[in-house]
Structure formats: structure tokens, C-alpha cells
Structure 1
Amino acid sequence: MYKLRGHHLFCLLGYRGMGYSEEYVKNMTHIHQTLKSNPNTLVQLVKGPDQLCEKYPNSGEYHCQDQNIYERDAVILEKMDLKIGQILKWEEIESRVRKHVIPTDIHSICETCSWRSYGVCEQGIERIHGGKGLWKVE
């Protein structure tokens, strides 16, 4: 089971192998590929730093504790009708994306995210809507 915060649910949808450091990318790729290959993997929704934050590089500001990030987590969970502490399969999270999220939601919910300009998160949501699941990342 993975412990993930709200906004990382969206990050995983758009993930293509980019990240903050080599260690961060290795960790995120492992989690991402596990969820892709086994959508029955359990995910527990947590408040605050999660298993992806654990590998955030110790250089500069640790944004995982930033109030804006907590707010983004809350907005995403509310949008998907999810709650902190809830445990569900990754495939159920994808189902919630299909039911509650559209690609243009990224523009407002993730407005201040530095990764938003790449457009990969919108494309990831489009993939989920098309029933294709997560991207293949090597």
C-alpha cells in the first residue's frame, strides 16, 4: 500500500519521468509503474508529506509543507469525493478521475504548479478518460 497526498494523485496521472532529482525520479517511477502494472494496488490518502515527498531533495525550500500545497491537496480530494485516511485501489482513483475531473481542471486547481506548463497532467487525465491508464515510463 502506498500513502499519497491529494495533489500527487494528479501528478501521477501526468508523470513522464521528470522530477526534482535522480532519487526523486527513481522513487516516483517505481510507485508510478507499480500502479500502472497493478491497478489493484492500495492507496491510503494522507494529509501532508507522503511517500513521494520522502525523496524530495534537501536543497532549498521544502515545498511539501507549504500551505498552498495543503490547499491543493484538499481541493483535489474534494473534487474527487475522497477523504483523508481513505484506502482504495488505484483503479478506483482512476474511476473517480473519469467521473469527477476534466483536463481543464488542471488550469485552475494547479495554477501555481511549476510542472503545469508542460501540459502532461491534462494529457494524463485525457488518457484516463480514454481508458488507457497511466503512461509507460522507463
Structure 2
Amino acid sequence: MSKKYQCKSETDSKPDSELLKIRAHHLCCIQGFQGYGYSPVFVANMRAVISDLEVLPSRLLKLVTVCDAICVSCPSKRECTIQESVLSRRIRQMDLVVLEKLRLDDGTVVKADEAFELINSTLNKSSDVEEVCGTCKWRQKCLWYAQAVE
């Protein structure tokens, strides 16, 4: 792992409340979001998260494989929090694939702009993107997915 992205030890003293928890695969979703979503509340929350990251690109993110700042407004959140559900396992697998490809651990803390730079430079083959996003119901409307598989 490149030292540039090995930020966890530098920020271990930061309380979790100062970190924005983001599922690893949401690094892709954030970039491809066009305003579609599960509900108006979900869409508004997604826009708020994206706006926050645009205003503060150096914001510290804690990359996770569980419900995050985006999931809090998802109508499927309850099913996702049940560790045994098919949906939960499928979504967590997307996170694990991203983390594996980025060579990061669950819980790694990294600046948002560095995380986006890393994901865009690492997941640069259509086969990588298919492996992460292949089962996503939003892939046909996702700008990140569309540009990545061209």
C-alpha cells in the first residue's frame, strides 16, 4: 500500500464523530449519482453528502463495509443491517471487492479527494468495474459506471 494513502495511523486520535463513514463501494456511487434513488429522502441525503465532499474535498472518510452516511436514509437499511440477509451480503461483498482492489482495510481513514483519486486510478478496467458494480440496480443510470465500462 502506498504511504500516501496509509492515513489511518495519522488520524487514529480523531474521534469517529469527526469522520464521515462511507461504504467503500459508495466511492463509485458518489461519482455516478444523477439524482435517482430509492426515495426523495434518500436522494436529498445523497445530494447533501456529495455537497459536503465538494465543499471539503480533504474531509476525512472512514471506509467501511456497513451502513454509512448514505445508507442512513435508504428504505432498505433495515434489511441491510441484518448480517444474514442476501442483500446485506451482496452489498458488503461490493465493499470488500473495492477494498481489496484498493489494498485497504475495512476502517481505513483517508482524505476524500485521495480516496476518489485512488479508486479512479485503480478501478480503471471494465472488468474491475463489472466485478464491483455488476449486480447494482443503478448501473444503467450511473455516470461513473457508464464511463468506466466504455
TM (norm. structure 2) is 0.73
**Which amino acid in the other structure matches residue 98 of structure 2?**
I
Q: Are 1:116 and 2:139 matched, yes or no? A: yes
Q: In structure 1, how many angstroms separate the alpha carbons of the residues matched to 2:142 and 2:21?
A: 25
Matched residue, 2:79: 62
Matched residue, 2:130: 107
Q: Are 1:18 and 2:36 matched, yes or no? A: yes
Q: Are 1:88 and 2:127 matched, yes or no? A: no
Mark the CA change 1:75 to 1:49 in structure 2 (over 3 Å): closer, same or farther. same
Matched residue, 1:77: 99
**What is the number of equivalent residue pairs in this alignment?**
125
Matched residue, 1:136: none
Moved over 4 A (4+): 123-126
Higher Cα Rg, which structure:
2
Mark the CA change 1:77 to 1:124 in structure 2 (over 3 Å): closer, same or farther. farther
Q: In structure 2, how many angstroms separate the alpha carbons of the residues matched to 1:26 and 1:106?
A: 26
Q: Describe the superposition over 1:53-74 as per-residue Cα deviations: whole angstroms up to 9, x where unpaired.
A: 1101269x83465211111110
Unaligned residue ranges in structure 2 (runs of 5+): 1-18, 83-87
Identity rate, percent = 30
Unaligned residue ranges in structure 1 (runs of 5+): 127-138
**Which amino acid in the other structure matches residue 99 of structure 2?**
L
Q: In structure 1, how many angstroms separate the alpha carbons of the residues matched to 2:74 and 2:133?
A: 19
Does the residue aligned with 1:82 lie in a helix, a strand or coil? coil
RMSD: 2.3
